[in-house]
Amino acid sequence: MSYLAEPLGEHHDLASFDCGHDGLNDWLGLHARTATGQGTRTYVLVDDDGGVVGYFAVAPHTIDREHLSRSQGRGAPRQIPAVLLAKLALERRLQGHGLGSELLVVALRTIVEAARRVGGRFVVVDAIDAAAVRFYEHHDFVAVPNNRSRLIRKLSTVARALDMPWP
């Protein structure tokens, strides 16, 4: 089976998607299309049969420098341009075999490509639970002070890791 990420469209059937988290399932089925009109972009991971087996959602964002550690915020303006990786989820039966990491790489590539053109210093994630925190830490995201569920990673280091030009 091969998989392709593409922008969420009207033709995608979202009803049977199940990542094991009701909140993330419901968001895709009930809110993702509306969110597009409000500034969020959702991409779905589609299998050879056209079935939606994963998704991620991204949106422009800013971080208050005072919410970062001194080293994280060094040299940055008070409002730091960033990109929010608002959602990321994979169909439950496919989890644990590296596909979630591949989906994260697709999301990060999308974010780096956009940020090269429009700016952004960090990618930000809000992990849904402790397991998601570990997943992102495994991928070199670092928590911000006083908020265990919010993690960031510098876009310059993401670009370098993915062998992409920056800026």
Ligand X SMILES: CC(C)(COP(=O)(O)OP(=O)(O)OC[C@H]1O[C@@H](n2cnc3c(N)ncnc32)[C@H](O)[C@@H]1OP(=O)(O)O)[C@@H](O)C(=O)NCCC(=O)NCCS
Q: Which residues bind ligand X (CB under 6 A)?
A: 19-21, 24, 88-90, 95-101, 127-128, 131-132, 134-135, 138
**Separation of alpha carbons 124 and 120, rounded Å:** 11
70: three-class secondary structure by DSSP: helix
Q: Which residues contact 18 (CB under 8 A, 6 or more apart)?
A: 25, 91, 92
Choice between 55 and 73, CB closer to ligand X: 55
List the one residue out of 22, 15, 85, 27 whose CA is nearest residue 52. Answer: 15
Instruction: Rank residues 12 and 150 by Cβ distance to ligand X and give the closer one.
Output: 150
- Tell the smallest beta-carbon distance from residue 75 to ligand X (Å): 29
- Sign of the C-alpha dihedral computed for residues 67, 141, 163 and 87 taken in this order: negative
Cβ closer to ligand X: 73 or 89?
A: 89
Q: CB 138 → ligand X: shortest distance, Å?
A: 4
Q: Which amino acid is at 53?
A: V
Instruction: Please report the beta strands in 20-78, taking only residues with DSSP state E, as ranges in sequence order.
Output: 41-47, 52-64
CB of 85 to ligand X, least distance (A): 8
Q: How far is the CB of 109 from ligand X (least distance, A)?
A: 16
Closest to ligand X by CB, 97 vs 160, is: 97
Cite the DSSP H helix spans in the chain: 22-26, 32-37, 70-73, 99-118, 130-138, 155-161
The least CB distance from residue 23 to ligand X, in Å, is 9
Closest to ligand X by CB, 96 vs 165, is 96
